[in-house]
Amino acid sequence: MKTLHVDADTWMHRLSPRLKLLALATLGLLLFLTHSIPVLACANLGGAALYFRSGLPVAEALRRLRPILISITVLAIFAALVGPLHAAIVTALRLTALALFAATVTATTSMAALIDEITALAMPLEKLGLLKAADIGLAVGLVIRFVPEILDRYRAIREAHQARGIKVRLATTLAPLIILTLRDADNIAAAIDARGIRRQ
């Protein structure tokens, strides 16, 4: 599997993973507490400044953001059609800033470090008997690792359509993408069970 982590040596890479996760959670909370467009615009500028200094080439950085930005644009257009324009702009700016900060964290933190920190942060909930911390860390890690795989599969399906002269439509790409993703999920679940990870 591919990873979203960028192998570089920036000051963000050297920060503690726990500090980055806590900062991301705090920023996410603050973003959803404000409705000020200027404040959210500044948050977007700050998030972009951090993200484009994470060690990624600009073209690759933009390519990674393209799917989420398209989704946010569609959501904002729908929100503008059914509600106030101000609310649509706030929603778009809020989600874009959060995506930029989250992308910065995943680009500057290794997958092993992320899983370890999420597991450690979930330990108080395990002590209360609410969940298993190791399962939470594993689940989050698998979700993050699946993102580039799903994007690669979508591009492969789109290129296959174009090679056959078939117009690329959501209805013709979504079904095979879901089937392939579920198949991979079943294979990974079988591998996890074969190693006895969930029984430990």
Highest mean pLDDT among 41-55, 144-158, 163-177, 184-198: 41-55
Residues 32 and 25: their CA atoms lie apart, in Å, by 11
Three-state DSSP class for residue 149: helix
CB 77 within 8 A of CB 92: no
Residue 125 lies in a domain: no
What is the domain count for the chain? 2
- pLDDT score, position 1: 43
pLDDT in tens, 49-83: 999 988 888 888 888 888 788 888 888 898 888 88
Q: Are residues 102 and 192 both part of a single domain?
A: no
Class of residue 164 by CB neighbours under 10 A (exposed 0-12, middle 13-18, buried 19+): exposed
Mean of the per-residue pLDDT values for the chain? 81
Residues 46 and 111: their CA atoms lie apart, in Å, by 24
CB atoms within 10 A of CB 99: 19
Mean pLDDT of 13-39: 90
135 has a pLDDT exceeding 80: no
Residue that is last in its domain, among 109, 142, 159:
109
45 has a pLDDT exceeding 90: yes
pTM above 0.85, yes or no: no
Q: Are residues 62 and 139 both part of a single domain?
A: no
Residue 116 lies in a domain: no
What is the domain extent for residue 152? 130-200
Token readout for 156 is 């492969």
Token readout for 171 is 């209805």
Share of the chain above pLDDT 90, in %: 20
Q: Are residues 93 and 25 both part of a single domain?
A: yes
